[in-house]
Structure 1
Amino acid sequence: MTTTEPRRAPNGFNLVPPPGWDVIPLHSGTAEAMDRIVRKAVAQLPVGFPKDDIPQARLKLAQEIKKVVRRASAKGGMTIYLPTERLHGVALPVSIVASEPIEVPRVRPNSGPEAVLAALASEIPGAEMRELDGTAALRSERDVLADAAQDVDVAHRQVEYFVPVPDSAPDKYLTFSFSALIAPGSDPAFYDTLVELFDAVMGTFRWSYA
Structure 2
Amino acid sequence: MTEVTSPPTGYRLLLPSDWVQIPVRQGRAEETAHRIAAEAFARVPSDVPRDKLTPLRLEVERRLRAAIADAQRAKALEIYLPMRLSGDINLGASIVISKALLPSRSAPDGSSVATSDPAEVAVQLLARSNGTDWDLRSGEIDGALAVRQEGVTPADPGRGADLAGRSVRYTVSVPGNPSQWFLAVFSTTGAGDPRDDLADALVEWFDALMATFRWSWA
SS of corresponding position for 2:148? strand
With over 3 angstroms needed to count, the CA separation of the structure-2 counterparts of 1:73 and 1:150, relative to structure 1, is same
Structure 1 equivalent of residue 41 of structure 2: 42
CA RMSD of aligned residues (A): 2.9
Structure 2 counterpart of 1:55, one-letter code: T
Change in Cα spacing, 1:34 to 1:151, as seen in structure 2 (3 Å) is: closer
Matched residue of 2:187: which SS?
A: strand
Contact 1:14/1:207 (8 A) holds in 2:
yes
Q: Give ranges in structure 2 of 5+ residues lacking alignment.
A: 108-112
- Return closer, same or farther for 1:202/1:134 CA change in 2, 3 Å cut-off: same
Gaps of at least 5 residues in structure 1 are none
Give runs of aligned pairs for residues 39-118 of structure 1, distance below 5 A: 39-45=38-44, 49-86=48-85, 91=90, 93-99=92-98, 101-109=99-107, 110=113, 112-115=115-118, 116-118=120-122
Counterpart residue number, 2:110: none
Matched, 1:205 2:213: yes
- 1:67-86 Cα offsets, whole Å, 9 max, x none, are 00000111111111111125
Q: Are 2:123 and 1:119 aligned?
A: yes
| TM-score under structure 1 length normalisation | 0.82
3-state SS in 2 of match to 1:113: coil
From 158, 161, 164, the counterpart of 1:152:
161
| AA partner of residue 19 (structure 2) | W
Is residue 2:165 matched to residue 1:162? no
Distance in 2 of aligned mates of 1:191 and 1:180: 7
Offset, 1:194: 0.4
Contact 1:80 1:97 (C-alpha < 8 Å) held by counterparts: yes
How far, CA to CA, are the matches of 1:172 and 1:35 in structure 2?
34
SS in 1 for 2:177: coil
User: SS state of the match for residue 77, structure 1?
Assistant: coil
Sequence identity of aligned pairs in percent? 32
TM-score w.r.t. the length of structure 2 is: 0.79
Q: Could you say if the C-alpha distance between residues 87 and 201 of structure 1 is closer, same or farther in structure 2, counting changes exceeding 3 Å?
A: farther
